[in-house]
Amino acid sequence: MFNYNPKSLKAEEFINDGEIRETLAYAEAHKNDRAMIDEILEKARPKKTGNGWNCAGLTHREASVLLACDDPEVIEKIYKIAEEIKLAFYGNRIVIFAPLYLSNYCVNGCVYCPYHLKNKTIPRKKLTQEEVRAEVIALQDMGHKRLAIEAGEDPKNNPIEYILECINTIYSTQHKNGAIRRVNVNIAATTVENYRKLRDAGIGTYILFQETYHKESYEQLHPTGPKHDYCYHTEAMDRAMEGGIDDVGLGVLFGLELYKYEFAGLIMHAEHLEAVHGVGPHTISVPRLKRADDIDPDQFDNGIDDDTFAKITACIRLAVPYTGIIISTRENETVRGRLLNMGVSQVSGGSRTSVGGYAGYSADERPHDTEQFDVSDQRSLDEVIAWLMDYGHIPSFCTACYREGRTGDRFMSLCKSGQIINCCHPNALMTLCEYLVDYASPATKEKGFAMIDAELEKITNPKVKEIAKKNIEDIKNSNRRDFRF
Ligand code: SF4
Ligand code: SF4
C-alpha cells in the first residue's frame, strides 16, 4: 500500500510514485472505454454561467485516461475542447514575454544542460549591472514589457543579492517610452527567506521546472550539486508560497522520462498546490529537450513527436483550465502555430538564450557561445507579432493584474465573473497599441491598427469601450502610456 496524500508537504507523498503507477495502469485499462471517455470529455467542456464561464478541470486520473487514448476521433475532440476552453477563458489573446539570461555560472551537474559544472568548453559569463541595463534597453527597444530572468545556481557567483540587484536594475531602467513592468524569475530552488526577498522585490511569477517527476531518473539526471536533492527541489513551490509568492510556474522537460509519467506528476503537483494553498499554478511551461553546446538530444531515448506533444498540451489545457500554458522559442513556428489553437496562452518572441544576447546584436545576428539551447523560432518580435495577428490572435503585453495587486487566483475570478472581455481584452488592445506606435514596422502597424479597431467593438461594457477608445487615441497622439483596467 502506498502513501498518497495531495495535502502532504512531503514530495514523495504528494508526487507519489505508487499513485502515478496506478494512474498509468488505470489509464491503460480504460483508454478504450468510450462511455468513460465521453463522460470525462463532457466534464472538461467549459459551461456558460449567468455572466461568465465555468470549467471543472480534470483529476490526474481522468486526464491520464484521455492522454492514453489513441482513438483519432477522441483526440480530435480533445483538441476541440482545448480550443473551446482557450477561447472561453483567454479569448484570442496571447501574452508575450522574453527570457533574459543573467549568468551561466552553475554548480549543478544536470546532464541535459550545457551550463553544467563539468562543461569546460562553454564560456562562463555573468552580466554586470551596466550590462543588465544594456540588455533591458535592447529588450525595451524591441517592445517587450514582461521578462523571465534566468540564472544558473551558484551561491558564489549568483547569490540572491545579485538576483535582487538585477531585478532592481531592470525595473528602474527607463528608456524612451519603454518599461519592463513584470519580471518573472526562473532560478534554483531556495529558502523561504529568499523567496520572501524575491516577493519584496516585486517579482511576478516564480518559475521552476521540475525537469522530471520520476525520482530515480531525477537523481541520475542531476548527479551532483544541490539540485540533486529531489525532495528539496519538488517542495520548492510550497516554500515559495510560504514566502508570499502567489504565482508559481511549473514545467517538466519533456524527453527526459516517459511522458505519461511526467504528465500525471505535473497534474498531481497542480492538485497539491490547490489542495494546500487554495490556488493552483499560475502557469505551466511545456519545454522539450533541445540540442545545445555539449548536449545531444538523441542521447535521451524518451523524445516525443509533434503529435504527442500537441496531445499533451491539449490534455493539460483540459485538466487545469485556469492555468496559463507557455511555449517558448525552443519550438519552431509550425509547432507553435498548432499549439496556439490548443490552449497555449503565452509565447516568447525574439528570444536569445545566451548571456548578453540582446545588446549590440541586430535582429538577425545571434551569439551562440553561451546559449542554453538552440532557438528554433528565430524570427524577430515584429515578425512574431505580425504572424500572431495573421492568425487572428491579439498579441498582449498586459501586466495589469500584477501591477494592481490582483495575484493568486485572480484570473479564475476574472473568468468566472465574465469580465475578461471588459478587462483583459481592452488591456491587450491598449498594450498592443503601445507596441505598434513605439516599435512596430509599418506593415505590422497597419495590420495591428485594423485589428484594434475591429476588436474594440467586442467590448460589451459601453463605458469600458469608451475609455479604451480614448486611451488608444491618447497612446497614438501622445507619450502617455501604461493605461490599464
Ligand atoms: S538546468 Fe539550471 S541548474 Fe541545471 S546545469 Fe543548467 S543552469 Fe544549472
Ligand atoms: S488583466 Fe490580468 S489576467 Fe487579464 S491579461 Fe492582464 S494580467 Fe492577465
Mean pLDDT of the chain: 95
Query: Over pLDDT 70: what percentage of the chain?
Result: 100
> 2 pLDDT exceeds 90?
no
Residues 251, 409, 169: CA angle, nearest 5 degrees: 65
> 346 pLDDT exceeds 80?
yes
Q: How far is the CA of 113 from the centre of ligand 1 (A)?
A: 6
Q: How confident is the model over 28-37, as a mean pLDDT? A: 98
Is position 397 within any domain?
Answer: no
Q: How far is the CA of 364 from the centre of ligand 2 (A)?
A: 31
Print the domain residue range for 71. Answer: 11-87
Site to probe by mutation for ligand 2, drawn from 411, 434, 482, 484 as the one with most ligand atoms within 8 Å of Cβ, is 411
Q: Give the model's pLDDT for residue 280.
A: 95
Q: 204 and 151, same structural domain?
A: yes
How many domains are there within the chain?
3
Q: Give the model's pLDDT for residue 308.
A: 94
Distance between CA atoms of 457 and 130, rounded to whole angstroms?
Answer: 44
Q: Give the model's pLDDT for residue 86.
A: 94
CATH number, domain with residue 108: 3.20.20.70
Is position 483 within any domain?
Answer: no
Is position 402 within any domain?
Answer: no
Q: Give the model's pLDDT for residue 64.
A: 98
> 20 pLDDT exceeds 90?
yes
pLDDT band at residue 295 using 50, 70 and 90 as cut-offs:
confident
400 CB within 6 A, ligand 2: yes
Question: What residues have CB less than 8 Å from 163, skipping those under 6 apart?
Answer: 102, 149, 151, 185, 187, 198
Q: Whose CA is nearest to atom 3 of ligand 2?
A: 411
pLDDT, tens digit (0-9, with 9 covering 90-100), for 420-448: 899 999 999 999 999 999 999 999 999 99
Ligand (nearest to CA of 157): 1
pLDDT band at residue 364 using 50, 70 and 90 as cut-offs:
confident
Q: 217 and 109, same structural domain?
A: yes
Is position 392 within any domain?
Answer: no
pLDDT band at residue 301 using 50, 70 and 90 as cut-offs:
confident
Q: 426 and 333, same structural domain?
A: no
Q: How far is the CA of 108 from the centre of ligand 1 (A)?
A: 6
Site to probe by mutation for ligand 1, drawn from 103, 110, 122 as the one with most ligand atoms within 8 Å of Cβ, is 110
Q: Give the model's pLDDT for residue 303.
A: 86
Is position 1 within any domain?
Answer: no
> 1 pLDDT exceeds 80?
no
Q: 94 and 50, same structural domain?
A: no
> 70 pLDDT exceeds 90?
yes
> 405 pLDDT exceeds 90?
no
pLDDT band at residue 366 using 50, 70 and 90 as cut-offs:
confident
Q: 94 and 56, same structural domain?
A: no
> 363 pLDDT exceeds 80?
no
108 CB within 6 A, ligand 1: yes
292 CB within 6 A, ligand 1: no
Q: 357 and 235, same structural domain?
A: yes
pLDDT, tens digit (0-9, with 9 covering 90-100), for 155-192: 999 999 999 999 999 999 999 999 999 999 999 999 99
Q: 199 and 118, same structural domain?
A: yes
Ligand (nearest to CA of 287): 1
Q: How far is the CA of 482 from the centre of ligand 2 (A)?
A: 13
Q: 100 and 248, same structural domain?
A: yes
pLDDT band at residue 286 using 50, 70 and 90 as cut-offs:
very high
Q: 271 and 333, same structural domain?
A: yes
Q: Give the model's pLDDT for residue 369.
A: 87
> 476 pLDDT exceeds 90?
yes
Q: How far is the CA of 112 from the centre of ligand 1 (A)?
A: 8
